[in-house]
Structure 1
Amino acid sequence: MHMPVSTRRNWRFLVSVLIGALLFSACSPSNPPDSTAKPGAVAPVPHGAATPDAAVSDLIAHLRRNALADVARTALPASLHARVEAAWRTGKSRWPMTELPFDDNLPGLLKALTAKDAERKLNARFKQQLSGQTRALQDAARGLGLFGKQYLGREGQYNAQQRQHYVQLIDAMSAWAQKAPLGDPARGKESIHLLVNGATRTGLKGDEDLSRLGMDAGLKALVPLYIAGKQVLALYGLGVDATLASLRAETVKIEGNKADVRVRYSLADKDIDTVMKAVKVDGRWYLADYLEDAEASLPPPEPEAPAALAKEPKAPAGR
């Protein structure tokens, strides 16, 4: 299927504004923070989990109570967490945002949503490009679903379990998008209003602010945008809370410091069933993919300074 350039461009805009909100939700909690909690009243969550299945379920528990920074803390050992935090401040890492397929678009999304007169401009763009184009957008979703599965099949960076999981995700999201009223004018206007307000509440303007805040504070700052994204998805019939609540994790095999965890959940009325790898580090369990991706997000270590050249012995004085 060949997709017209204009349709692809329109779909990318929709993805950046609408589907991008879903991607925030994949690693974000579902309710606003508890405003009654006193700073310093709650002890930091431990790094890692007690069991392999808890390496998954603990993360989901953090997401459901809106503890985004706790997700990053539980997902990584203390030493790796500290290195990623430091790399955030220099702009060298954006993990765990790099877990999202559209992480490169985040600075641009923030800039567009917080620009002067953003709501009016985005509404005009929606009206011009997407309003009333539900059928074309649904057709585009079908084509992009096929393209996504072909891409996964030929790219070598994914293992068999990742491919199996991602294909299920693509099928579920493509099926949802093919039924969702993506070009509905009223929903489009309300979606833009919610996202602009959510982005404004983050206090973030772009990538420089994420570096200034660092990982912990940066993830906390992004919560209002997630909340707006969740509300947007509800307008189009996709419930994030239901997906998080449906997830079940079960340890199916342990061999030394490695384990397999079966993970099942429902996304857009589709049942997802996959297996994730967990590893034990210093007595605590972590998801292997998260450790690998966090390490990969870091800049290479600085080369060691060459050892000082040994001074040549002085020639003996002439007699």
Structure 2
Amino acid sequence: MRFRSLRHILLPLLAVLALAACHHDEAAQAGGSSPEAAVQGSIDLLKAGDFGGLWKHALPPADYATLRADWSRHAAEQPPVSAADKAKFDEAVQKLTAPDAETKLYAELQPKLGQMEQQYKDQLPVMISVGAALLKNGVAQNQNLDSAQKTQANQLLDVLVPWAQQAPWFDQARAKQAVGVVVATARKLDLKSPEQLRSMDFDAAMAKYATGYAGLKRLLAIYGLSVDEALDSVKLSTLPSKDGRAVVKIDYTLLGKPLSAESTLVQQGGRWYNESLIRNVHEAHERLQQPAATGSTALTALPASAASAAPKN
């Protein structure tokens, strides 16, 4: 559940991306002294992979406290892990964290790469196009996204799909590097059981997310997509605003293509916070208050989003 929720966080976060410039004083506080400062603080925290700090910065203190308090309530609403799923989890963890995991896994993968290239090289672009069409349909049907967010998500897909179609997925040298990154990340995650994954408190979960995010960035870089280069390209500008509500425009370059997104901020107590995150926290908290008989489940839309950091609206 939590990783499905994180998907709603990370899509806007990665679409927004981030600046490399440092504004640690702003990022260390809840909210920003201005709309741009609020977005910039979130950007810095996303770049650092500090997801716990990100929510603390992007949410008013009361809403951040609600998020933390609600986090540990989710496990009780989840069905128990089946024996089959637990066995699969244990097998995967054992393979990825064994002392000689890199050597063994690459030895298994290497002969398959050539076979896969012969079998799928011509089909892969078509398969990716089909997958992209399904993703776009999912975006269109997603009731949690407004029209601007849907447009931004589709523009992002239009840049990522050609990259995915042309990336050297069957290159053996890159595959060997990728195996090393996956193994190193799995060891650092140090997950002992699926129950541990579900029962982690907020701080522990955010630390695991940071580890996974760092591994994902390294993995993407191997195949030609540098998240950090995109982060370094971001430029912010505030659109006309009034009545304690402002929109910050975020322009950035991804894979050489110019893109843009917007983040809506609201002012509370003299500080600026992300509007969509506040709304999602309130909605998620309300769902947790519903009686079990209504069929309410655990949080399905954590404040987006890593990522998700200048989460966009």
- Tell whether the structures are fold-level matches, with TM greater than 0.5: yes
CA distance in 2, matches of 1:127, 1:293: 47
1:81 aligns with 2:61: no
CA distance in 1, matches of 2:190, 2:26: 26
Identity over aligned pairs, percent = 24
Cα offsets for 1:291-310 (capped at 9, x unmatched): 2233333343267xxxxxxx
> Which of 256, 260, 274 is 1:269 aligned to?
256
- Paired residues of 1:253 and 1:260 also in contact (CA < 8 A): yes
Please name the residue that 2:231 is paired with: 244
In structure 2, the CA distance between the partners of 1:30 and 1:276, relative to structure 1 (3 Å rule), is closer
Gaps of 5+ in 2: 1-6, 77-84, 292-313
1:47 aligns with 2:34: no
Please name the residue that 1:141 is paired with: 128
CA distance in 1, matches of 2:276, 2:251: 17
CA distance in 2, matches of 1:161, 1:86: 31
> Which of 249, 253, 269 is 1:282 aligned to?
269
Matched to 2:288, the amino acid is P
Q: With structure 1 as the length reference, what TM-score do the two structures score?
A: 0.68
Q: With structure 2 as the length reference, what TM-score do the two structures score?
A: 0.69
CA distance in 2, matches of 1:86, 1:211: 15
Q: CA deviation at 1:69?
A: 1.9
In structure 2, the CA distance between the partners of 1:25 and 1:290, relative to structure 1 (3 Å rule), is closer
1:301 aligns with 2:289: yes
RMSD, aligned α-carbons: 3.8
In structure 2, the CA distance between the partners of 1:278 and 1:294, relative to structure 1 (3 Å rule), is same
Instruction: Identify which of structures 1 and 2 has the higher relative contact order when contacts are C-alpha pairs closer than 8 Å and 6+ apart.
Output: 2
Q: CA deviation at 1:43?
A: 12
> Which of 29, 51, 54 is 1:71 aligned to?
54
- Paired residues of 1:69 and 1:216 also in contact (CA < 8 A): yes
Larger Rg: 1
CA distance in 1, matches of 2:195, 2:205: 11
User: 5 Å matches for 1:45-124?
Assistant: 45-91=28-74, 111=89, 115-118=93-96, 119=101, 120=104, 124=108
Gaps of 5+ in 1: 1-18, 32-41, 94-106, 304-319
Matched to 2:94, the amino acid is K
CA distance in 1, matches of 2:91, 2:242: 48
In structure 2, the CA distance between the partners of 1:251 and 1:44, relative to structure 1 (3 Å rule), is closer
In structure 2, the CA distance between the partners of 1:60 and 1:135, relative to structure 1 (3 Å rule), is farther
Richer in helix (by share): 2
Q: CA deviation at 1:198?
A: 0.7
Matched to 1:83, the amino acid is T
CA distance in 2, matches of 1:85, 1:47: 15
1:195 aligns with 2:182: yes
Q: Secondary structure at the match of 2:136?
A: helix
1:175 aligns with 2:158: no
In structure 2, the CA distance between the partners of 1:152 and 1:221, relative to structure 1 (3 Å rule), is closer
- Paired residues of 1:134 and 1:184 also in contact (CA < 8 A): no
